[in-house]
Copies of this chain bind each other. A is one copy, B any other.
Amino acid sequence: MKEKGLLVVISGPSGAGKGTICKALLEKNDFWLSVSATTRSPRVGEVDGVNYYFLSKEEFQNRIKNEGFLEYAEVYGNYYGTPKDSVLSAIDSGKDVVLEIDIQGALKVKETYPEGVFIFILPPSMKELRQRIINRGSETEESLMTRFKAAYKEINYVSKYNYAVVNDTVEEALKKIEGIVIAERCRVDRVKENILDSKEGIIHEQLYD
């Protein structure tokens, strides 16, 4: 029996570094990255099915009606969402899928797919988080404070996640996430059926043959 893949959700406050971690994770490992759908217009160079699935508002709303998203949100009049079918069929075929997603999105995914592996990326310190938000530039002092306060508040959501990974260095954070993936593949909750029930499992082999 083919084992299902994992849904690994990388999430956390803005400025914690989840984007950098995800990029490094995908470069080094054999994960399947979910492509989001959106109703916003493609920017120059963006390819449909690679950067996003570009949908019309009507297509998107139809998919919402048919429960076609693991999660979706409306941001400044545009929809963004994670298509359910492609993710679930990748998982069923044994692939591990990575989702990089904000906290609100991650909590919605958890409702739809609680057996996912929910990893919260923490900044090494609040000072560092502030520095990272500043380093992104193009922020007024006011919007900086707003973003910073939001991030500060968002850290409370860590309790809804399975794992917390402090992003001191990308290498250390990667090592932890790779350890988490190895461990999750060994979790008895996930493999018990294969061990105990499967005809191909070791328990049903003939003793003497």
Which residues of A are interface residues toward B (Cβ below 8 A)? Answer: 119-120, 122-127, 130, 148, 152, 155-156, 158-159, 161-165, 175-176, 178-188, 191-192, 195-196, 202-203, 205, 207, 209
Contacts and interface: CB of A to CB of B under 8 A. Distances in A.
Contacts of A155: 195-196, 202-203
A207 B130 CA distance: 8
B126 A203 contact: yes
A197 to B, nearest CB: 11
Given A124-B202, A180-B183, A184-B183, A159 B196 contact: yes
Given A125-B205, A152-B207, A205-B125, A162 B187 contact: yes
Contact of A159 (B120, B159, B188): B188
A188 B130 contact: no
Given A164-B191, A180-B183, 12 more contacts: A123-B202, A125-B205, A126-B202, A126-B207, A155-B195, A158-B192, A159-B196, A161-B188, A163-B188, A176-B182, A176-B183, A179-B183
Contacts of A202: 122-126, 155
Nearest to A162: B188
A53 to B, nearest CB: 32
B164 A192 contact: yes
B163 A195 contact: no
6 contacts: A119-B186, A122-B195, A125-B202, A126-B207, A158-B195, A163-B186
A158 B201 CA distance: 13
